[in-house]
Structure formats: structure tokens, C-alpha cells
Amino acid sequence: MIVNDKVRNALEWILCIVIAFVLAILIKYYIGTPTIVSQVSMNPTLQEGQRLILNRLMRTMKEMPQRGDIITFEAPSVIGYRSADEIDFNNPVAKYENEPTSWWGKFTYYVLEINKQSYIKRVIALPGEHVKIENGKVYINGEELQEDYLPEGTTTNALRNNYFLDITVPEGCIFAMGDNRAQSTDCRSFGCIPLEKVESKVWIRFWPLNLFGHV
């Protein structure tokens, strides 16, 4: 009888652990998750080492990101081109190649996010909009984009191997850039991001405490 009680207690503990693990995965994938900024591309808005809460309800509810939103998305497999001849400007979409095909590979990559790299950038242009970067400025449908979130004097120029500077964003895609325009690998380099690759919207910065709040 004592042995049976011990076995039952052990099974109850195992069941609790399994349930907690499943709930943690569901919350992380569908609702939100914490993360640490590990890139400089969003300086000075977001700096390395800052802690954020990511809102994944946007992906779950299939909401369209809005211009100015800071989002995370799966990093493309091709992040730069040697020449413009390699690009199909009729379909200026980032390439995602060699993605997992097995159910276990998809689970570990997309759900557990093992060996998965993500970028954090700001939404600049939406589906169907024409974006042009010229003379240090960004134009959307021919009108200069007012970017009050950037430090005064910031210019947006073409970096090395930036070819996506005068394009129309395809349907089902967005165009995003980092606030640190001089040190950001973004849609200027690899093209527009399909909406299904958008993972989350930055919701709250909770560290450092003196900067706590919505981003």
C-alpha cells in the first residue's frame, strides 16, 4: 500500500510537471514571452541587454502590424545579395530556404525556437505601399515619412549591398528597418517580410526599471 502511494504521488508530480511544461509552451507561443535585446540595430530606442515582453497575440489573432510598430520576425536565410542581378524586383520578398519539414523539426524550430534567429525592427511600409529611400529620407507613396521616434538628424541611406530601396511592398508583406539606420541589417538588404514570418510585437520594456513601460 505504501509503495502504491509513492507511485501515485510520483505520477501526480510527473503529471503536474508535464501540464506546467505544456502550459508554458502554449503561453510562450500564443500569448507572450520575455526576451533580451541582443542587437544594436534598434539603438537608441532599444539597447543591448534591455528586457522586453513580446506580445504574440498579434500573430495568434492574425492582426496586421501597423506602421511604427516594433516587431520581431524570423530572420531570412538570405540576408544580402552580391548584385542586383540576383534579385527579382517583381517579387521583392525575403527568402526563407532550408526550413524544417518534419513535424519534430517544425516543433523544435517554430515552437521551442531551438536554433532559430529572430530580428527586431520597426514597421515602415505596409502591403501595397511604395517605399523609396533617397537622399537620406524615406518616402511612402511619394510622401516623406515623418519619423519622430528617430533621433534628430538621423538619415536613412543605402548601406553596402542594399538594393531594396525603391520597391512596392507585395500583398501579405511588410517593409521594416532598424532605428539605428547606419548599423541595421533589414529589409533594405533582404527584401520584404511575409506576414506569416512576423512573430510578435514589442509590448513592454521591463528592464532597466527606470525605463519600464510600453515601447
Cα gap 47→185, rounded to integer Å: 16
Identify the band that residue 10 occupies on the pLDDT scale cut at 50, 70 and 90. Answer: confident
For 161, which DSSP code?
T
Using the structure block, give the residue that is written with the C-alpha cell 489573432: 61
What are the Cα distances from residue 138, in Å, to 141, 142, 143, 148, 164? Answer: 10, 9, 8, 13, 12
> In terms of pLDDT, which residue wins out, 158 or 42?
42
Residue written as cell 532605428? 179
Is residue 210 a contact partner of residue 63, using CB atoms and an 8 Å limit?
A: no
Q: Which three cell numbers stand for residue 175?
A: 517593409
Q: Tell me: the pLDDT tens digits for 13-60?
A: 999 999 999 999 999 999 999 999 999 999 999 999 999 999 999 999
Model confidence pLDDT, tens digit, residues 70-105: 999 999 999 889 888 899 999 999 999 988 999 999
pLDDT of residue 147: 95
CB neighbourhood size of 34 (10 A): 12
Q: Is the pLDDT of residue 2 over 80?
A: no
Instruction: Tell me, rounded to whole angstroms, the distance of Cα 69 from its chain centroid.
Output: 11
Closest CA to 188 of 118, 108, 139, 131: 131
Looking at residue 153, the DSSP 8-state letter turns out to be T
CB 121 within 8 A of CB 71: yes
Residue type, 104: W
Amino acid at 3: V
Each as own residue / partner, the long-range contacts of residues 49-52 (CB below 8 Å, 24 or more positions apart, any chain) are: 50/205, 50/207, 50/208, 50/211, 51/205, 51/206, 51/207, 52/202, 52/203, 52/204, 52/205, 52/206, 52/215
| Domains of the chain, first to last | 59-200 (2.10.109.10)
Residue 29's pLDDT is 92
Q: What pTM value is reported for the model?
A: 0.92
Residues in a beta bridge with 200: 72
